[in-house]
Chains A and B, each alone.
Chain A
């Protein structure tokens, strides 16, 4: 317990880190306890109550179909966090594997992979998302595939650079000379050393991922209606912006709070645990 407490205390000492941690916990709390915090069904249509402002009955008001916005925002948080966690985890695994291969493998493979990563990065994110959705159809899976395609090249490059640096270091050479296999060297000597900075960078990518999910859902390329996502709520708000501002506020403010929270937390994490990464 004390082991866990020390890094948290370090973060809390920074005002920005404390704010970030608070916002993130706030959002996680809302998503996890969505069903306890509201009795409204986020997809229940109630046309007679549409376009209502905030009230004690509907904390954030209702949308153009009379659905309770508070319930939709809480459940939208579940989608956002789910996508962020799952796709970041998948990206990390793929990025680590590709990066280790590029960094430890033969030179020609490395060059080829670097070219591939550069080409991947040269697709503008939204264009990639649009092209992919045209083929796959809009779905949460499509969102996650986009996230993986967008973030993997970055992770793989970092792992590659660090692997190359470590490959020639003394203790890896020593292990090699003692007959350790490549797989063992990668697993025991290289992986533990490259993973720390990567996790910090990935945590700083979470706001980007949340932005991609919300953005794609905003364009109607992500979750299908009536499933609530912050992006689709924001789209409802955009479509009806001349009738009421409440829907747009309900959809956008959670995105702002979450991206700011994760960013502040990620920045502090980096400054506290790995100042070398500053400016990346």
Chain B
């Protein structure tokens, strides 16, 4: 079964300067028990995608077309807000980027963990025990004492682990992790990633892992979705994307990853040009203005080409491997 199936999703924001097409024809699956990485530069629509799934789009944003099917039964785009709220937390949990601000500063950790179990029929004592159990699972020392402490009394890494404990406490079917390690330093990042992978296997949930850190994605994820300017330009398994990128954007992205740079290159390559204005999307390929393989064909909307084995790229020339310039 597929935990989350996003099909042809479109999201538009109405702005003073006209409608802004933030997500265009986004399709991908988050299969059961798998970790799907979403990768892309800032402004590629990752946050909009999360908010659309959670039903937390800003007032001026709306889903106009497409579907988000959760666990094969709940159509999230049309679900009434009260039903949506019932899913948030127990079924779809989220860990946000900023560990410093993710927890309420004036409510104790225990109280916050108690509050999010408000739907549970357990007694208060059982709920607290559950909280302690989760804190121990994320390796918070002296977990029972931690309940009466306040967020500012923990370090950034510990706060992020508490946030993960809170998210997984209700054993959700889907965990959305929005750059959960970006604000942490490298060592903490590695331990947090390992912890996340460990817990995912224990609880058996699917994870949607958003990051711009390709190394982390390669390490942690099973599948990868590459987003650019509100479109999914390529998706496939980690091996397919990293070994055999078919979309020129994916290829450039891999090239720009400092971790994959060979010693020879002194200058970090960047992709020339800028993301086009989303209020005036080109009719053809969204990446055409920055692409080194652009041709006349690209002024028409590119097809989602199936390369095989679930590997799909939205490009006319996806049949041939893209040049990465990196010796694998």
* In the complex, A touching B (Cβ < 8 A): no
B-contacting residues of A (Cβ < 8 Å)?
none
